[in-house]
Amino acid sequence: MALTAEQRIEKAHIEIMRHGGFVAYTNLIMVGDTKIDDNEPTARTNGRDIWYGRKFVDSLTDNELRGLILHEAKHKMYRHLDTWKHLAKINPIKTNVACDFVINIEIVDEGKQNLDNHGKPFCVLPEGGLYDEKFRGLSTADVFALLPDYQGGGGGGKGDGEGGAFKPMDHHDWENAEKLTEQEKKELAKEIDQAIRQGAILAGKVGGNQNRAFTDLMSAKVDWKTALAEFVSAVCKGKDDSTWAKPNRRWLQHDIYMPSSVSETMGRVVVAIDTSGSINNYILNRFISEVANMMENVNPELVDLLYWDTRVAGHEVYGLNEFDKMTQSTKPKGGGGTDPDCIGKYMTKNNIVPECAIVFTDGYVCSWGEWSCPVLWCILDNKDANPNVGSTIHIEMGDL
């Protein structure tokens, strides 16, 4: 008697978990819910949950089904539906294809390196799965930039990368990925991180192959300078025409796909630096130096540099063509306790309405205050500090 789609998925999961070359995926496979959908033509994921089409599962060989399951696990592992959502807003089909080209090369490689009981690749791509050697070693942003601006359609199989339409082997549900609450997104990110680390540990215990993707993700550290610049660029409303057709090459080297524009100017920016007793002169100088360099590249119309502890003790204003003077002319003030709530109150009192605020602090605070604009917290040597508002970058002292 033939197995049902549900039984085949469960069987494939067990086979992956028991194979030394793929045991590291054990916990990733268990992240989110796995369901069979009679109306789904192939497979679908929102970055957490996975829906497999019943007819599609029935049409696959065991090796192809394992390849499909690993394909979906990699979407979760690399957080594709969060990392590349800015590309999906430009062209979701093209982004789907770019993601698939990148991870399918990994699946083919892993299949060749790990055989099943019959001496065949343990996992292979379903017929029509996107694969092209010309994309080896490239990031999703790189592939996206090279692909034509098609709107989807048939085709499939090995793409030529020059024109024509490609058909992804699954559907990336960007819309439902966006519907996840901020709390759900944080919990998902934490669960995926744990799954990656636990998978690597498990592979080591059973003598399994150490998957390079897992070790790379475990050792990866956020470049706080890149993350800082990306935040400013992301919230920049811009007064000039910008184009995604010509990517900003300054960010491509960091695997960030941003548009180029005529002058890349933005409005007012608040930079608030904690000058409480725990922040020494070396840290202050490193923060100020990086802000000055970034502002010269981003070109805001105005920068309000605030020094604060339990109150705003210093306020300096820099206009266009003055950012290079910041490191020499600034005079940090303060040195008391730490209360970031004073920043928002000061901005309101002085009618400061910025496009965004960047706050440098050690994060030892009682509350994070109220904000009327996007805020990025740059927190030094305090991984336990998790603001309940805005975005956060954790910086280690050695990275300054």
Q: Taking residues 195-218, report their average pLDDT.
A: 69
pLDDT of 66 over the 90 cut: yes
Per mean pLDDT, which range of 18-22, 239-243, 392-396 is the poorest?
239-243
Measured CA distances, 155 to 67, 72, 143 (Å): 20, 21, 18
Mean pLDDT for 66-95 is 93
pLDDT value, residue 267? 82
Cβ pair 300, 265 in contact under 8 A: yes
Q: Higher confidence at residue 46 or residue 137?
A: 46
pLDDT for the residue 154: 36
Please name the fold of domain 224-399: Rossmann fold (3.40.50)
Task: Say if residue 207's pLDDT is above 80.
Answer: no
Those residues whose C-beta lies under 8 Å from the C-beta of residue 122, and which sit 6 or more positions away, are 19, 21, 22, 63, 66, 110, 111, 114, 115, 116
In which band, very low, low, confident or very high, does the pLDDT at 210 lie, cut at 50, 70 and 90? low
Q: pLDDT at position 261, please?
A: 47
Exposure string over 350-377, b if 16+ CB within 10 A, otherwise e: eebebbbbbbbbbbebeebbebebbbbb
Q: Is 44 helix (H, G, I), strand (E, B) or coil?
A: strand
Residue-wise pLDDT tens digits, 367-387: 898 898 988 898 888 888 888
Question: What pLDDT score was predicted for residue 217?
Answer: 66
- pLDDT of 265 over the 70 cut: no
pLDDT at 125 over 90: yes
- Which residues does 45 contact at the CB level (< 8 Å), separation at least 6? 51, 72, 75, 76, 81, 170, 171, 172, 173
Maximum alpha-carbon separation in the chain = 80
Lowest mean pLDDT among 83-97, 261-275, 326-340, 368-382: 261-275
pLDDT for the residue 220: 55
**Residue scoring higher pLDDT (112 or 267):** 112
Residue 345 pLDDT exceeds 60: yes
Task: State the virtual CA torsion across 369, 373, 376, 380 in degrees, nearest 10.
Answer: -30
What percent of the chain is modeled with pLDDT above 70?
Answer: 80
The yes-or-no verdict on residue 349 having pLDDT over 90 is yes
Query: Where does the pLDDT of residue 171 fall: very low under 50, low under 70, confident under 90, or very high at 90 and above?
Result: very high
**How big is the CA angle at 213 (ends 211 and 215), to the nearest 5 degrees?**
75
Residue range 140-157, pLDDT digits in tens? 888 998 998 865 443 333
Q: How far is CA 346 from CA 52, 300, 304, 313, 342, in A?
A: 53, 21, 12, 10, 6
Band (3; pLDDT cuts 50, 70, 90): very high
Q: What is the pLDDT of residue 223?
A: 66
- Lowest mean pLDDT segment, chosen from 28-32, 123-127, 279-283: 279-283
Task: Note the pLDDT of residue 158.
Answer: 38
393 pLDDT more than 80: yes
Q: Once rounded to an integer, what is the mean pLDDT over residues 256-272?
A: 65
State the pLDDT at residue 299.
Answer: 78
| Segments making up each domain of the chain, as ranges | 5-219, 224-399
Give the H/E segment covering residue 373. none
